[in-house]
Structure 1
Amino acid sequence: MDIHAPISADAISLEDRWCAHNYKPLPVVIARAEGAWMWDDQGRRYLDMMSAYSAVNLGHGHPRILRTLIEQASRVSVVSRAFHTDRLGPFLARLCALSGLDGAVPMNTGAEAVETAIKAARRWGHTVKGIPANHAQILVAEGNFHGRTTTIVGFSSEPAYRDGFGPFAPGFRSVAYGDAAAMEAAIGPNTAAILVEPIQGEAGIVVPPDGYLRRLREICDRHNVLLILDEIQSGLGRTGQWFAFQHEAIRPDGLCLGKALGGGVLPVSAFVARRDVIDMFVPGNHGSTFGGNPLAAAVGLTALEVLEEEGLVQRSAELGQHMRDRLTALAHPAIRAVRGRGLWLGVEIDPGFASARAVCEALMGRGVLSKETHETVIRFAPPLVIDRADLDWAIDRFAETLEALRA
């Protein structure tokens, strides 16, 4: 690959002219993709080590997903929830069986799943727990990322997510992530739920101490508080289990899912929960025109089947350990830490060596695409279908990149 070939300046300038500048993408124009590989509009090939924040767990253009997409779209795609369809029931039944929960609300984006969880928790708190109307409180963790709606960014601890977007909804209290004792101390009579990520993705692939989720489960049981987990990035095989909560052998009361649920082709999400929580929703108090549409349900069911039948969850566990071992063995002075689970690792870069952005740009020149978070961490989260040889190739290119930057 000629790393000095000109980039597609026209495509980039056109996007820059007409699109809001709410992202700072790397200077590459992707024109097609297959499996774990992507090609730009000049024909140069890149290995995808990001998977669209876990949306592409099954790889790009998985043939079974595409076949389902085309076949279902040729029959019926959207009818709204004003009518029953033959696809929604089988999809949600499989999703509930896998999670061990009792019912689900189908939505579209991850943020919608989280908003649905918030509504369910508040209504449960008022209806079941007896919290006075409009006084329900939800505890969240510092460093969280649950989406971009005004309600959600209102309880973010990242200034850039909040600046200029207030006023924000009350009813949330932030507690240090990974500190179960602090979370328990923050519970009051109006606390309806604790909402956390099992691993914080946007914060830099931050893994809490062992036993943290078990402690939260015990605390919630003791205080009659719902435990709601946001597994939009960590769920569906990413960490080497179907769901990250399975690493600690617990079960949440509510679960937010998205991204990989759409098989890499559609936005599909769901809030899955135990029966008394799901029953907080009745006709008229919540809905979505596109949520649960037959096209999304058909694709979602096929995505679950592919994950299971192709053994991608176990593959994530095995290749994830291999990736961790190899990255750790680099022992490069630029690397401060390697953390994560399964095929979801963050490599923290010493800012005195280079910014994570600079490393990602240099890595792009060697045919590997990823993205930094918070200027210090590089994400390594390839599609779960990646070949071991391709994974090794990417790590070799990473090692070369660090050496080139040091020189």
Structure 2
Amino acid sequence: MEIKSYLRTEGDINISPERGQWQEAHLSEQTMDVLDNDSRYFLHQSMSTPCLNVIKNAEGIYLEDMDGRKIIDFHGNSVHQVGYKNQYVIEAVKNQLDELPFLPRRYTSPIAIQLAQKLVELAPGDLNRVLLTPGGTSAIGLAMKLARKATGKFKTISTWDSFHGASLDAISVGGEGVFRNDMGPLLPGTEHMMPFNSYRSILGECDDGGMKGLDYLEYVLEREGDVGAIIIEPIRSTDVQIPPKAYFQRLRQLCDQFGVLLVLDEIPTAFGRTGKMFVHEHYDIVPDIVVIGKGFGGGVFPMAGIIAREGLNIAQDISLGHYTHEKSSVGCAAALATIEYIENNGLLEHSEQMGVVLKNRLTQMMSKHEIIGDVRVIGMLAAIELVRSRQSKEKAVEETEKVMYLCMERGLSFKVSNGNVITLVPPLITTQEQLEQALDIIEAAISEVSSQ
């Protein structure tokens, strides 16, 4: 199946010729047999089956494959802030399994209340109410339902190229074609606007920090009286788009002006990824709803949820979630231990410090390699955008894929976003020495590919 280069996303790697060549050159016959069995039984889909490799262990910042290779994992599906097999989290889970392995709905337990109290203490302003779910996608659904209930309005506005989950309601507010294409009618009322950086990249106009997009949003809100919520990623994690503070402060003002709830999707970015516990702390605003997930469960247990403002505690007559594992006792133990580990080990401060290291090193790399068109860094989240020409900004799609497979050959895994963006998501426990080692691998691969 041929994929046009301008439509390439991270998910296309599992059907590309590069993948087959890499597997043939680097995987054993035993591993390929296991991959064939996996492919036989699981439904095929982009970004999943057919799979890349077989993993037998994950610990710290490393994966270990079936052939014994250790791989630095700067991908991790954004769940590994505290590293794989974190013993503090695992001990909390083991203890909870012995004490109360399952909490039936209609009941509570001290561990669930402790987690909710901790979240409320950490969140700014009057973000005082919590509801938990088994996954980030369902948490997005909670936020959408609560917004409808609170405002009496059913429309949402989100951005193109955003990702908010894979269920039908989540892909309706999401903006990635790999999830939406050929799905037929999606949820009505899910309107979209251009991301903050699109006027610069699409129209070639000067960088105004995304304010033209907010001018358009204001125009829409003046004419559409039934918009209940703006759903947006404060930092788009796939290709690391970082709006300026003024963007979100004006967005907050527009939501207040037109009676619209501001829902921030921090599923992949909360809990230290950007150097703050919550991403919106960078913008000095208080959203109406924050959606959390992924790293929330410490890379051990699937946990997600929402933190909402006190005034949104208005849904007692309906079931917003009612999930079987809504207040999972084991999940709450994992999440609470994750937050405690981040705090007790100074990982917020470490993330900020490593962000400086990343920024300095990637800036140096960009000055030496013309193929690097841009670098973007906040905390331990970084993007390296590869282009064929800095003037035309034509995406270096094939080159980026080659860099990725060269890096995997040399022991480093990361994701490729938007076809040409190397996205680095290191565990927060990554040392400076390990970070420099990974960046050495990347720079060597970029140098080799660009010289070809």
Q: TM-score, normalised by structure 2?
A: 0.84
1:201-244: CA deviation from partner (whole Å, max 9, x where unpaired)? 23x22122341111111111222221110000121111111111
CA drift of 1:199 comes to 1.0
The partner residue of 2:381 within 344, 350, 355 is 344
* Pairwise CA distance, 1:86: 2.0
Instruction: Tell me which of 24, 27, 47 is aligned to 1:6.
Output: 27
Aligned positions of 1:1-400 closer than 5 A: 5-7=26-28, 8-24=31-47, 27-52=52-77, 54-100=78-124, 101-126=127-152, 131=153, 136-178=154-196, 179-187=213-221, 188-202=224-238, 204-282=239-317, 284-331=319-366, 332-350=369-387, 351-352=395-396, 354-400=398-444
Question: What SS is found at the alignment partner of 2:228?
Answer: strand
1:290 partner SS: coil
Amino acid at match of 2:321: H
Cα drift, residue 353 of structure 1: 7.4
Contact preservation (8 Å) 2:115, 2:332: yes
Contact 2:280 2:286 in 1 (8 A): yes
Contact in 2 for aligned 1:120/1:281 (Cα 8 Å):
no
Displacement of 1:24 in angstroms is: 4.2
For residue 181 of structure 1, give the secondary structure of its aligned residue in structure 2. helix
Are the aligned partners of 2:274 and 2:380 in contact in 1 as well (CA < 8 Å)? yes
SS for the counterpart of 1:242 is: coil
Q: 1:21 to 1:56 in 2, by over 3 A?
A: same
Pair 80,164 (structure 1): closer, same or farther in 2 beyond 3 Å = farther
Shift of 1:20: 1.7
Deviation for aligned residue 1:4? 5.6
Which amino acid in the other structure matches residue 430 of structure 2? I
More off after superposition, 372-381 vs 4-13: 4-13
CA distance in 1, matches of 2:442, 2:300: 29
Whether the 8 Å contact between 1:239 and 1:343 is mirrored in structure 2 is yes
Return the offset for 1:28: 2.7
**Superposed displacement of residue 363, structure 1:** 0.5
1:99/1:159 CA distance change after superposition, 3 Å: same
Contact kept in structure 2, 1:139 and 1:194, CA below 8 Å: yes
Query: TM (normalized to structure 1)?
Result: 0.93
Q: Secondary structure at the match of 1:389?
A: helix
Pick closer, same or farther for the CA change 1:223–1:84 going to 2, 3 Å.
same
How far residue 262 of structure 1 moved from its aligned partner, in angstroms, is 0.3
Q: Give the Cα separation in 2 of the matches to 1:205 and 1:197.
A: 10
Per-residue CA shift, 1:33-61, capped at 9, x if unaligned? 21111211121111111132x21111001
Say whether the 8 Å CA contact 1:51–1:59 is kept in structure 2. no
Q: 1:223 to 1:55 in 2, by over 3 A?
A: same
CA spacing shift, 1:175–1:367, aligned 2, 3 Å: same
Cα distance between partner residues in 2 of 1:271 and 1:196: 14
For the 8 Å contact 1:60–1:264, the answer to whether it is kept is yes
**3-state secondary structure, aligned to 2:140:** helix
- Of 382-391 and 10-19, more deviation after overlay is shown by 10-19
Instruction: Quote the Cα distance in structure 1 between the aligned partners of 2:182 and 2:374.
Output: 34
Partner amino acid for 1:380? L
Match of 2:17 in 1: none
In proportion to residue count, which structure has more helix? 2
AA aligned opposite 2:65: D
Pick which of 393-402 and 158-167 moved more. Answer: 158-167
Aligned counterparts of 2:397 and 2:175: Cα–Cα separation in 1: 27
Provide the identity percentage: 26
1:172 to 1:6, Cα distance in 2 relative to 1, 3 A: closer
Give the unaligned 5+ runs of structure 1.
none
SS of equivalent residue, structure 2 residue 34: helix
Counterpart CA distance in 2 for 1:205 and 1:375 is: 13
**Deviation of 1:138 (Å):** 1.4
Number of residues of Structure 1 aligned to a counterpart in Structure 2: 395
Cα offset for 1:277?
1.4
User: SS state of the match for residue 183, structure 1?
Assistant: helix
Deviation, structure 1 residue 27: 3.1
Q: Which amino acid aligns with 1:194?
A: I
Contact kept in structure 1, 2:71 and 2:408, CA below 8 Å: yes
Q: Is 2:103–2:327's contact at 8 Å kept on the other side of the alignment?
A: no
Identify the range of structure 1 (149-158 vs 265-274) with the bigger mean alpha-carbon deviation: 149-158
Question: Which range moves more in the overlay, 382-391 or 371-380?
Answer: 371-380
